[in-house]
Structure 1
Amino acid sequence: MLKKLKSLDDKTVLTIGRIGSVLSVLMYVSYVPQIMNNLHGQYGNPIQPLVAAINCTIWVLYAILREKKDWPLFIANFPGIIFGLITFFTSLH
């Protein structure tokens, strides 16, 4: 199986990367319902979104500090910083 994966063409690999980036952004946008609940007094646990924001910050730094910038990695993780921090701060009570 691994040998077969190594032989994927560039177009397939690019498609997989794009799908992964879209899913990553959607994962962090899915914090919106929790943010709304937090704002209406139904507070969620702040730990997971804080850890997600820290994780995304590390990946964003890695993406932009590389000699050859990794923009797909940056784009996939930057929303996680924003939505993770908003979710974290709105969950504090």
Structure 2
Amino acid sequence: MVQKASVHQGGDKRHARPIAIVGRIASVLSVCMYVSYIPQIMDNLAGHPGNPVQPLAAFFNCLFWTIYGLFKKERDWPIVVANVPGIFLAAAAFLTAVF
């Protein structure tokens, strides 16, 4: 007999607030991570280009997470908010490293 897995999404209301707080904290930390590209962008513009591979990977990662968060049946705003800055900052880091 196959047992059904318990549904976690939208489940227990007592976990809703702590999970929402974790989502907000994770969003802030993600934005901080992508803001850390600014020194690399500045170095790239100053003629000391960094490796473009990681920012390119981050760009696609953020792009796909943003699409996922926007097009879910119920939009996942913490995922969207966490990844939109990464799209722009990773693209800037990549482009300034290459050009």
- Report the TM-score range of the alignment, normalised by the length of the smaller protein: 0.7 to 0.9
More helix by share: 1
The amino acid across from 2:53 in the alignment is I
The Cα offsets for residues 16-37 of structure 1, whole Å up to 9 and x where unpaired, read as: 1111110000000110000000
Matched, 1:85 2:56: no
Contiguous gaps of at least 5 residues in structure 2 = 1-11
Instruction: Check if 1:44 corresponds to 2:50.
Output: yes
Alpha-carbon RMSD? 1.4
Given the two structures, how large is their TM-score scaled by the length of structure 2?
0.82
Please identify the structure whose Cα radius of gyration is greater.
2
Three-state SS of the structure 1 residue aligned to 2:64 is helix
Deviation at 1:81, TM superposition (A): 0.5
- Most deviating of 64-73 and 34-43: 64-73
Correspondences of 1:13-28 after superposition (within 5 Å): 13-28=19-34
Structure 1 length-normalised TM: 0.87
Aligned residue for 2:81?
75
